């Protein structure tokens, strides 16, 4: 049967439907997927050494003749042991396998074999346990030992050897069918290998240099494919007409004077940038980065005020109900002053104002848990324009929500949303301005390329007077010390968060859970205090209630999961205790730490961890000392790599498989520049040479079409 690149892997010889399932779990569905399933690392076996040169402890490749094949059952452990003694002119070595008796059939006396594995001394003999091996005289075309050999993250049920074999067969057969994504001029300008050479050398490198070149070429390609949609989107947007809001500084300043605090320098700067964007007739697309607690909400509130005073509506989208509630209350509070302290000049006289003498801003809270009737009413009031600002969760992008004249979209904690959700919301207005906020700051160059379609503003400092949050590390046995600390704080009138990585006990993980500890705390350890429990599996109304109780000071201690991670702002909470702290990413820890230190009292972050690995210790140790969210994000990004760091949440974007934006910044920049050039000359990707790129974009990026739609 003739197979295309898009043919399902199950039709390959020796695979079939059952094995295809295990491939699929590794993300390999088609022949093409397999070609682009890159090795995790390599082993250099190109140097075969004589047996007497083997140093125990090293991973080595050796060659020998089979002298003896023996086996025994190690009764005590019920294991079957296969021992094969091989030798060359210098020495002997024993290869040992456990529970693979069938292997013995390979090792006929006198046969020559290559072995690869870690050498060791056992009972004064040189031995290698479970080496990979290769028959030398087999006369087969497939000799994998004497080379730089790839190692893959394996689909279940495969050995490195077996998987490699399949990759090799598929490569040999299908490489001629692979089309170029990168046009010739780009390849020649950047001295990039062609795709066939690249695929061959990424899987089975002919030399280290070629492996590096293959890696460079394939990384470039990935960056390039990743950048095209972003660039397209940015260019398309430039053509769109947006709303040119009238900025009334006197009114805004009067409002700002009613606040309980003064804006920081950074807040003023970003506000200027936002006002400028909003005043233009192009739609704003701005990403506002700022550390936890840097005061992004008030900036968004001011932008909302600009939109509303121009007679437009605002949609304010946040990732959780709790946060929606909190923002609703916060904004209501901010705007309370409006009616009696500020004369909303434009409200009374401005022509842009369509609402006559309205002097109050109507806010609505729209979440999944409000009643049907109430929702209906809100939908209606959004449609008629009675409601000025809608604050809510995903509920805001539901189908029934139709705005009269949506002028501004604010998305808080953007890392929790995907691009497609952003687009859905955009379509609810006619080219509304968009302000996206994130507390997971990433380096600017990286941000520019990852969010290549956005402009970026930055809040650099925290409001003055914030106390440094003291971070303390406890190991499990010192835990009660941490509890004593909590007690003391509660007795002083403060409140405490205690976070667990899981909700319930699990059989596979030996971790304390929020539920179990809640019971223990409320019945024993902290029974004299009021303890609450908060996690994602509790009903939304109950979550809300618990959060309200905590905010109103009616709970002393809140036991929770990372549901707390975003946005929660309770100034009287001074202790954030995180159990199994090593289970969390650094940025996540930082977000949680940012939940305290919001009021006048000294605040603390207590990390409890029994992580023994040096790596975990170093990570937590670094976290204890570092307070700057940017540095922490950078470190986290380095440690976990962009894939894990950004997670599936960026599901709208092409996932990078091989390229790393952190270590290949230059390549990313070059790829972006080429993407811009290509899109400028062929925005619809109609050129014959761009057809493979087009196909790849549609294939790898199911939301490509959506991405291009800019309302
Ligand atoms: P984040 O950037 O993490 O979203 P918030 O907007 O929730 O931070 O602000 C954190 C707290 O700081 C809030 O209670 C807010 O009212 C307060 N705040 C914001 N700006 C200032 C400022 N310039 N001075 C003092 N407090 C401020
Ligand atoms: Mg916030």
Pick the most confident of 231-235, 299-303, 411-415. Answer: 299-303
Q: Rounded mean pLDDT of the chain? A: 85
Say if residue 219's pLDDT is above 80: yes
As given in the structure block, the two tokens for residue 203 are 């899987």
What pLDDT is recorded for position 653? 47
Banded model confidence at residue 449, pLDDT cuts 50, 70, 90: low
Closest ligand to Cα 595? 1
Nearest C-alpha neighbor of 225 from the set 708, 706, 711, 704: 704
Say if residue 339's pLDDT is above 80: no
| Per-residue pLDDT tens over the stretch 104-115 | 888 888 888 888
As given in the structure block, the two tokens for residue 224 are 């390039």
3-state helix, strand, coil in the chain (%, to 5): 45, 20, 35
| Per-residue pLDDT tens over the stretch 643-673 | 666 654 444 445 678 887 777 888 988 999 9
Say if residue 78's pLDDT is above 80: no
Asked if residue 426 has its Cβ within 6 Å of ligand 1, the reply is: no
Bin 285: left if φ > 0, else alpha if -120 < ψ < 50, else beta: beta
Contact 476, 608 (CB under 8 A): yes
Q: For 275-289, what is the mean pLDDT?
A: 92
Extended strands (E) in 207-303: 285-290
Atom of ligand 1 nearest to the CA of 459: 2
CA–CA dist 107, 86 (Å, integer): 10
What does each C-alpha distance from 221 to 182, 228, 695, 696 come to in angstroms?
A: 7, 11, 14, 11
Looking up tokens 């470190």, which residue turns up?
A: 635
Say if residue 451's pLDDT is above 50: yes
Say if residue 710's pLDDT is above 90: no
Q: Answer with the residue of higher pLDDT: 627 or 612.
A: 627
Residue 92 bridge partners (DSSP): 87
CA–CA dist 517, 479 (Å, integer): 13
- Closest residue by CA, ligand 1 atom 17: 295
CA–CA dist 70, 84 (Å, integer): 6
Nearest C-alpha neighbor of 38 from the set 640, 643, 451, 450: 643
Instruction: Quote the ligand 1 centre to 463 CA distance (angstroms).
Output: 7
What does each C-alpha distance from 514 to 499, 511, 519, 579 come to in angstroms?
A: 7, 10, 9, 10
CA–CA dist 696, 224 (Å, integer): 11
Segment among 53-57, 442-446, 547-551 with least mean pLDDT = 442-446
CA–CA dist 313, 433 (Å, integer): 11
Contact 47, 199 (CB under 8 A): no
Contact 395, 304 (CB under 8 A): no
Residue 458 in 3-state DSSP?
Answer: strand
What is the CB neighbour count within 10 angstroms for residue 175?
Answer: 15
Q: For 324-350, what is the mean pLDDT?
A: 71
Contact 360, 308 (CB under 8 A): no
Nearest C-alpha neighbor of 67 from the set 80, 54, 50, 84: 84
CA–CA dist 445, 289 (Å, integer): 13
Instruction: Quote the ligand 1 centre to 586 CA distance (angstroms).
Output: 22
Q: What long-range pairs does 652-657 form, CB within 8 A, spacing at least 24?
A: 652/418, 652/419, 652/420, 652/422, 652/703, 652/706, 652/707, 653/226, 653/419, 653/450, 653/701, 654/222, 654/225, 654/226, 654/229, 654/700, 654/701, 656/222, 656/223, 656/226, 657/36, 657/38, 657/222
Nearest C-alpha neighbor of 243 from the set 285, 274, 280: 280
Nearest C-alpha neighbor of 497 from the set 455, 560, 585: 560
CA–CA dist 12, 343 (Å, integer): 75
As given in the structure block, the two tokens for residue 644 are 């894990």
Segment among 355-359, 371-375, 678-682 with least mean pLDDT = 355-359
Instruction: Quote the ligand 2 centre to 229 CA distance (angstroms).
Output: 29
Q: For 214-240, what is the mean pLDDT?
A: 86
- Closest residue by CA, ligand 1 atom 9: 295
Instruction: Quote the ligand 2 centre to 410 CA distance (angstroms).
Output: 11
Q: For 626-638, what is the mean pLDDT?
A: 83
Banded model confidence at residue 204, pLDDT cuts 50, 70, 90: very high
CA–CA dist 702, 672 (Å, integer): 21
Half-sphere exposure of 339 (CA within 13 A, CB side): 9
Segment among 227-231, 332-336, 400-404 with least mean pLDDT = 227-231
Asked if residue 294 has its Cβ within 6 Å of ligand 1, the reply is: yes
Say if residue 203's pLDDT is above 60: yes
CA–CA dist 697, 238 (Å, integer): 22
Segment among 73-77, 84-88, 319-323, 682-686 with least mean pLDDT = 73-77
What pLDDT is recorded for position 402? 92
Instruction: Quote the ligand 1 centre to 294 CA distance (angstroms).
Output: 6
State if pTM tops 0.85: no
Strands 148-151 vs 41-44: parallel, antiparallel or unpaired: antiparallel
Contact 267, 259 (CB under 8 A): no
Nearest C-alpha neighbor of 364 from the set 384, 386, 339, 340: 386
Segment among 138-152, 201-215, 586-600, 675-689 with least mean pLDDT = 138-152
As given in the structure block, the two tokens for residue 186 are 């780009």
CA–CA dist 679, 478 (Å, integer): 59
Residue 569 in 3-state DSSP?
Answer: coil
Using CB atoms within 10 Å of the CB of residue 571, give its burial: 0 to 12 exposed, 13 to 18 middle, 19+ buried: middle
546's CB contacts (< 8 A; 6+ apart) are: 532, 533, 534, 538, 555, 558
Mutating to test ligand 1, I would choose from 295, 328, 465 the residue with most ligand atoms within 8 A of its C-beta, which is 295
Residue 680 in 3-state DSSP?
Answer: helix
What pLDDT is recorded for position 405? 93
Nearest C-alpha neighbor of 365 from the set 544, 622, 549, 554: 544
Instruction: Quote the ligand 1 centre to 559 CA distance (angstroms).
Output: 24
Contact 267, 296 (CB under 8 A): no
Instruction: Quote the ligand 1 centre to 29 CA distance (angstroms).
Output: 48
CA–CA dist 201, 626 (Å, integer): 41
What is the CB neighbour count within 10 angstroms for residue 74?
Answer: 10
Strands 455-459 vs 285-290: parallel, antiparallel or unpaired: parallel
Strands 495-499 vs 573-579: parallel, antiparallel or unpaired: parallel
- Closest residue by CA, ligand 1 atom 18: 295
Q: For 672-688, what is the mean pLDDT?
A: 91
Asked if residue 265 has its Cβ within 6 Å of ligand 1, the reply is: no
Mutating to test ligand 1, I would choose from 293, 327, 564 the residue with most ligand atoms within 8 A of its C-beta, which is 293
Strands 148-151 vs 406-411: parallel, antiparallel or unpaired: unpaired
Write the DSSP string, 520-531.
Answer: HIIIIITTTS-E
Asked if residue 296 has its Cβ within 6 Å of ligand 1, the reply is: yes
Q: Which residues hold their Cβ within 5 A of ligand 2, which is an ion?
A: 567
């Amino acid at each position: 049967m003739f197979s295309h690149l898009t043919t399902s892997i199950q039709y390959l010889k020796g695979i079939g439907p059952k094995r295809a399932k295990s491939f699929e779990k590794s993300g390999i569905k088609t022949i093409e997927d397999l070609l682009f399933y890159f090795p995790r690392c390599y082993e250099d076996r190109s140097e075969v050494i004589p047996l007497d040169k083997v140093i125990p402890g090293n991973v080595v490749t050796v060659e020998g003749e089979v002298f003896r094949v023996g086996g025994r059952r190690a009764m005590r452990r019920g294991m079957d042991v296969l021992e094969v003694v091989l030798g060359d002119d210098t020495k002997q070595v024993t290869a040992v396998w456990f529970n693979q008796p069938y292997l013995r059939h390979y090792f006929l006396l006198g046969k020559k074999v290559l072995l690869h594995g870690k050498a060791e001394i056992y009972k004064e003999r040189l031995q290698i346990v479970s080496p990979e091996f290769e028959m030398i005289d087999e006369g087969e075309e497939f000799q994998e030992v004497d080379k730089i050999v790839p190692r893959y993250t394996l689909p279940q049920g495969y050995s490195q050897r077996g998987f490699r074999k399949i990759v090799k067969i598929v490569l040999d057969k299908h490489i001629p069918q692979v089309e170029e994504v990168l046009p010739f001029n780009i390849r020649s300008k950047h001295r990039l290998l062609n795709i066939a050479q690249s695929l061959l050398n990424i899987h089975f490198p002919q030399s280290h240099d070629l492996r590096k070149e293959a890696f460079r070429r394939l990384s470039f390609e990935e960056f390039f494919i990743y950048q095209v949609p972003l660039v397209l989107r940015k260019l398309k947007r430039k053509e769109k007409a947006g709303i040119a809001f009238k900025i009334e500084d006197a009114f805004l300043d009067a409002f700002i004077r009613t606040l309980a605090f003064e804006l920081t320098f950074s807040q003023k700067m970003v506000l200027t940038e936002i006002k400028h964007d909003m005043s233009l007739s192009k739609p704003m697309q701005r990403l506002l980065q700022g550390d936890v607690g840097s005061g992004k909400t008030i900036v968004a509130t001011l932008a909302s005020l600009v939109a509303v005073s121009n007679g437009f509506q605002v949609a304010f989208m946040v990732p959780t109900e709790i946060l929606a509630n909190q923002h609703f209350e916060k904004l209501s509070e901010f705007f309370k002053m409006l009616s009696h302290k500020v004369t909303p000049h434009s409200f009374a006289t401005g022509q842009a104002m369509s609402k006559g003498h309205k002097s109050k801003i109507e806010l609505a809270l729209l979440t999944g848990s409000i009643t049907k009737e109430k929702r209906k009413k809100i939908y209606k009031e959004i449609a008629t324009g009675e409601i000025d600002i809608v604050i809510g969760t995903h509920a805001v992008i539901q189908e029934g929500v139709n705005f009269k004249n949506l002028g501004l979209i604010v998305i808080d904690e953007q890392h929790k949303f995907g691009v497609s959700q952003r687009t859905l919301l955009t379509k609810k207005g006619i080219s509304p301005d968009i302000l996206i906020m994130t507390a997971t700051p990433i380096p600017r160059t990286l941000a520019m390329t990852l969010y290549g379609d956005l402009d970026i503003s930055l809040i650099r400092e925290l409001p003055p007077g914030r106390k440094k949050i003291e971070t303390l590390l406890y190991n499990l046995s010192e835990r009660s010390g941490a509890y004593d600390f909590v007690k003391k704080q509660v007795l002083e009138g403060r409140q405490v968060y205690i976070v667990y990585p899981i909700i319930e006990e699990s059989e596979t993980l030996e971790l304390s859970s929020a539920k179990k500890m809640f019971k223990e705390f409320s019945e024993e350890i902290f029974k004299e205090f009021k303890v609450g429990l908060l996690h994602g599996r509790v009903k939304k109304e109950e979550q809300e209630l618990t959060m309200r109780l905590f905010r109103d000071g009616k709970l002393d201690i809140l036991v929770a999961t990372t549901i707390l991670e975003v946005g929660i702002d309770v100034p009287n909470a001074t202790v954030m205790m995180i159990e199994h702290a090593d289970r969390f990413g650094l940025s996540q820890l930082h977000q949680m730490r940012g939940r305290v230190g919001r009021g006048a009292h000294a605040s603390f972050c207590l990390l409890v961890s029994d992580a023994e690995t040096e790596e975990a210790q170093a990570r937590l140790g670094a976290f204890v000392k570092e307070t700057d969210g940017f540095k922490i994000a950078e470190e986290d990004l380095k440690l976990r790599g962009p894939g894990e760091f950004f997670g599936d949440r960026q599901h709208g974007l092409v996932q990078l498989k091989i390229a790393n934006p952190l270590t290949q910044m230059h390549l990313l920049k070059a790829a972006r520049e080429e993407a811009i050039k290509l899109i400028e000359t062929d925005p619809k990707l109609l050129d014959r040479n761009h057809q493979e790129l087009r196909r790849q974009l549609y294939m790898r990026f199911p939301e490509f079409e959506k991405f291009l739609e800019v309302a």
